[in-house]
Copies of this chain bind each other. A is one copy, B any other.
């Protein structure tokens, strides 16, 4: 274990996608837990699209990370010192522990104890973490899929999307994935079992959708917004459910960009568009993880990880994510 605490601080506020230069790495003393606190040695740091929102000054669902503060992040690690009755040395935890080697916690920023110790700890940040949980509740609660429905997923090979597609298939749906490039397209039909895949970089998305969804789209799990969503929403079926989970294809929302007005279409199709923020489901995380873990053990829910070794990879990682360079859940492993 390192004898200093390396931390990634927010140095400047990005105009759009956070770049490596917006962060700096500093070395600090390893913190000492006080009464009713414990020390976590982080083993994996998470990198996710939502981080763009967390560092944005524009109104969002959480206070922005302050300049000079440790970058907000989920991380998973092991309790290495404890003065808290609820946490013992050796416990595995996942929570908002930040981009750093060590974090002191009083438990308030712990998302959950990781009890699936037969599975790799890194999964608690991916398919058994907020990504899988987001897929689970977004699809099942807001998307309300019925057997035989056609479910379309954008960023279909991503950490959330790949789980959505597989869960939809487990629910008896036909699944159509939208992704970029032949490598990810092959992952979709090969590893993640999509019935059809559309490579948005390869041609006309609207025409490909028409061919793949002859009866229209019953559920659209949207991680992108933008032109891809416009094409999908234009082809929804009566009673469709649109789940807004992410807006990765739009680089700035300040001011709101223009797009085709959806109101008339939502009305005529009696559709429903719902926004998902997974933190609203915190009281039900364990329900989701129990079911997701069972599917993982049975080989019914596959996942990919894209792990970079060393905290020095963290500052540039959000920008890499938005360039779509990763295959699978993007993580930083700490040495």
Cβ < 8 Å to B, chain A residues 248-303: 250, 253, 255-277, 280
How many residues of chain A get a CB closer than 8 Å to chain B's CBs?
A: 37
In the assembled complex, the Cα of A245 lies from the Cα of B268 at a distance in Å of 10
Partner of A268, one of B59, B222, B274: B59
* A273 and B244 alpha carbons, distance in the complex (Å): 11
Most chain B CB within a 10 A radius of its CB, from A247, A265, A275: A275
Residue from B245, B257, B259, B272 in contact with A274 in the complex, judged by beta carbons closer than 8 Å: B272
A254 and chain B: residue at smallest CB distance: B264
In contact, B247 and A267 (Cβ under 8 angstroms): yes
Q: What B residues does A256 contact at CB under 8 A?
A: 260-262, 264-265
A3 within 8 A of B: no
Question: Which residues of B sit under 8 angstroms from A250, Cβ to Cβ?
Answer: 261, 263-264
Is the Cβ of A263 less than 8 Å from the Cβ of B277?
A: no
Please state the number of chain copies in the assembly: 2
Which of A258, A264, A272, A274: most chain B Cβ within 10 A? A264
A260 to B271: give the CA distance in the assembly, Å. Answer: 19
Q: Say yes or no: is A117 at the interface (Cβ < 8 Å to chain B).
A: no
The minimal Cβ–Cβ distance linking A216 to chain B, given in whole angstroms, is 12
Chain B residues contacting A267 (CB-CB under 8 Å) are 244-247, 275-277
Which chain B residue shows the least CB distance to A265?
B256
CB-based nearest B residue for A61 = B268
Contact of A258 among B60, B258, B269 (CB under 8 A): B258
Contacts of A326 in B (CB 8 A): none
Does A122 touch B at the CB level, under 8 Å?
no
CB distance from A57 to the nearest CB of B (A): 14
User: What are 10 A-B contacts with C-beta separation under 8 Å?
Assistant: A244-B267, A255-B260, A256-B260, A257-B260, A258-B258, A259-B259, A259-B261, A262-B273, A268-B277, A270-B280
10 additional A-B pairs beyond A244-B266, A250-B263, A269-B275, beta carbons within 8 Å, are A225-B261, A225-B263, A225-B264, A257-B261, A259-B259, A265-B275, A268-B275, A270-B277, A270-B280, A272-B274
Residues of chain A touching chain B, judged by Cβ–Cβ distance below 8 Å, are 53, 59-61, 222, 225, 229, 244-247, 250, 253, 255-277, 280
